Amino acid sequence: MTGASVGVDVGGTFAKIALVDARGRTLRSARFPTEPERGPREFVARAAAAVAGWRFSALGLGLAGGVDAGTGTLLFTPNLPGWKGFAFRRAFERRLKVPVVVDNDANVAVWGGYVVGLKRKPRHAVGVTLGTGVGGGLILNGALHRGAGGAAGELGHQVIRAGGAPCACGRRGCLEAYAGTAAILRAARRRMRRRPSPLTPRAVADAARAGDAGARAVWEEVGAALGQGLANAVLMFNPDAIVVLGGVARAGELLLAPVRRVFAEQPFREPFARLALSAPAERDWGCVGAALLAREGR
């Protein structure tokens, strides 16, 4: 495919749109409130209006929830009430007259991190997205692995502590309950004597870099939990690389150093011996990955 493609990353509050070239560079961008109460058809119309006048050959859409990538239908979603069952690919193709690819938001973000951040060099990679929730994606033999029903790579909902903290999914002890934004802020309230206002993961990271012992302990705790979850993924998939994405990943080495320590403690050394761990500079990976996925018709 020649020319640019469009990526749309749909969150419960805002939708981000980017015009992306073949190298993953953002040429134009837009953002507007998702307003899920207006319904999916109205959303498609507003997204199409936002890209009016843009020249592109395909569109990719990342949705928070379970997606049938074959039909482009949203199967379930926690943050977009009333959108379940809507066929997004068909709706966008009818309106824009270009090929459309629809997938889970974590999958498209990980694809963007793989293609642009890792330059496609590893054949096998595990990606994790850290934000309000913890998502994941799998790259096996250089291709996005979706699994039998499109739900592969749900790293955030593996149980790392049986009977542990409650997770938004309804289970207890999930990785998300220890490494998502809510978990970070909960740990900060417990460990920091002087908490920044507003209290955000970025503020906790800034405090840690400034020498706050409580803030540093937060990242040790969160990084150790993340390391445990990622170690499980390494033992299962034996990847060449792990890529960490999302707003929480801006913590950089505060987060990655304890992950590496967990890896170093693993008694089964072979899967960890040549494993590369990185957190590429933050960008709108969901938009970039959705656009690049659509560009390749995947």
CB 139 within 8 Å of CB 125: yes
pLDDT at 174: 97
Percent pLDDT > 70 in the chain is 99
Class of domain 121-278: alpha beta
Confidence class of residue 271 from pLDDT cuts 50, 70 and 90?
Answer: very high
Q: Quick check: do 5-109+285-295 and 121-278 share a fold? A: yes
Match 């970039």 to its residue by tokens. 288
Mean pLDDT of 178-183: 96
Domain covering 5-109+285-295 in this structure, CATH number? 3.30.420.40
Q: Is the pLDDT of residue 65 over 90?
A: no
Residues 215-222, mean pLDDT to the nearest whole number: 98
**Average per-residue pLDDT for the chain:** 95
Least confident of 70-84, 176-190, 205-219: 70-84
Give the pLDDT confidence of 129-153 residue by residue, as tens digits.
999 889 999 999 999 999 988 889 9
Q: How confident is the model at residue 79 (pLDDT cuts 50, 70, 90)?
A: confident
Is residue 266 predicted with pLDDT exceeding 80? yes
Distances (CA, A) of 269 to 138, 260, 262, 266, 273: 21, 13, 12, 6, 6
pLDDT for the residue 1: 64
> Which sequence spans correspond to the domains of the chain?
5-109+285-295, 121-278
Whose CA is closest to 126, among 243, 16, 14, 15?
A: 243
